[in-house]
Structure 1
Amino acid sequence: MGKVFALLLALFSAAVPAQEVRVPVCFNYSCVATETVAFDAALLEQARGQLLAASDPATERAVLAAVVGRLYREAGVQTPVGADRAGNYFDQGVDGRMDCIDHSTNTTRFLKLIEARDMLRFHRVLEPARRTRFVLQHFSAVVEEVEPPVSLRPAVVVPDHVPLMLALCDCAEVLDDVPAPAPIPDSRPGERFVIDSWFVDNGEAAIVLSLADWLDGDGPNVQ
């Protein structure tokens, strides 16, 4: 009887989806402290629905920035990072404060979690980027736009006469009558963007900038 119960329990456990995903979150500047945050299935499914509703790269980046903020807000409930404020000066000395090293590390972990669960269709996650201006350094998480899946590309409408002509004659030039597929709005495969949560208070949507602009010093005026 005991063996039967154990087998049934094992089968039941295998059938039940994981209820949470655990992610390390570091803080107190340069990842001096680390605690583990548990993101439950409901939160992750909400994020999935929001991201998969995005129909173009720009929208996916905007939603991604909001989802990152939502994950930080949940992390702030479970760890001291709820005290984190934009930049480094408004929360100096506070337990849970985060500098750009903490933010770039944590945000990259969040993005990789999202990517691993197949929530991204227009981007892939890269390693954090660094910029140096004078003697100051700044780090941020980075994503790169990719070619969208075939299923998301606009369908090509083949004129009715094309298949007929191909069937009746050896006239491959008729294929020139097939229009090129319409581009996805604002699609720039290969372009890189920062998802920078250091610029905002805990729980707010991260700032999205092209990597080139960010490297040139763009971003909110916080310190």
Structure 2
Amino acid sequence: MAQTFSVCHGYGCYFKTNVTLTGTDRSRIASIMASGRKSPEGERAAVRRAVQVFEQRNTQVIGVVDRPKMDFGKGRERGQMDCVDESTNTDHFLHYLQGAGLLQFHTVARRDSRGSFFDGRYPHFTAVLKDRSGTLWAVDSWYEPGGGAPDVMTLAEWKSRGYGGVR
């Protein structure tokens, strides 16, 4: 059965484009996820690679290669994604992995954010996984162009970063 996502882009989900994973895409993703079934660390590494495949499919369908981070003042540009777009799309994809039974060591948690201007950081959002011990993991693809490997780190570490636009 085909899996279709409403992919956000244009900053703040200004545009939404339906992207359907082909049977080949789904098989490739399932194979990647199967390679990580031995440990939580292996599963997070597999999630990292699977998100890349998902994003490569998105940029192929939308027809625009997303640049890393975001260019202020470049909102409403088809295919370009801010952290709201990125975290929303990744969250939906992680829910797909969970629903398909492809996550063995993690569940999808609520998206989270860091930064508040008052602390010298621009607000920034991420998708989140939770492992069996209760540790939360950020899955943040904003720093790379579409199809690049997302950062996967503890949410606590992720929250301590982000000063001056640095990872």
Please, what TM-score do these two structures have when normalized by structure 2? 0.89
Q: Which moved more, 1:83-92 or 1:204-213?
A: 83-92
Q: Specify the alignment match of 2:62 in structure 1.
A: 79
Amino acid at match of 2:107: R
Report deviation, 1:133: 4.4
User: Unaligned stretches of 5+ in structure 1?
Assistant: 1-17, 147-188
Matches within 5 A, 1:131-210: 131-135=114-118, 136-146=122-132, 189-210=133-154
Q: Specify the alignment match of 1:42 in structure 2.
A: 24
Report deviation, 1:51: 1.1
1:28 aligns with 2:28: no
Aligned to 2:89, the other structure's residue is in SS state helix
Please, what TM-score do these two structures have when normalized by structure 1? 0.67
Cα–Cα, structure 1 residues 90 and 59, in superposed 2: closer, same or farther, change >3 Å?
Answer: farther
More helix per residue: 1
Report deviation, 1:53: 2.2
Post-superposition Cα deviations, 1:182-212, rounded to whole Å, max 9, x if no partner, equal xxxxxxx211100001111111111111100
Q: Which moved more, 1:48-57 or 1:108-117?
A: 48-57
User: How many residue pairs align between the two structures?
Assistant: 161
Aligned to 2:7, the other structure's residue is in SS state strand
Q: Is the 8 A contact 1:194 1:208 kept in 2?
A: yes
In structure 1, C-alpha distance between the alignment counterparts of 2:102 and 2:73, rounded to whole Å: 33
C-alpha RMSD over aligned residues: 2.0
User: Unaligned stretches of 5+ in structure 2?
Assistant: none
Q: Specify the alignment match of 2:34 in structure 1.
A: 52
Q: Which moved more, 1:191-200 or 1:50-59?
A: 50-59
Post-superposition Cα deviations, 1:52-95, rounded to whole Å, max 9, x if no partner, equal 22111111111101110111101111114x42111112993642
In structure 2, C-alpha distance between the alignment counterparts of 1:218 and 1:59, rounded to whole Å: 26
Q: Specify the alignment match of 1:115 in structure 2.
A: 98
1:211 aligned to which of 155, 159, 167 = 155
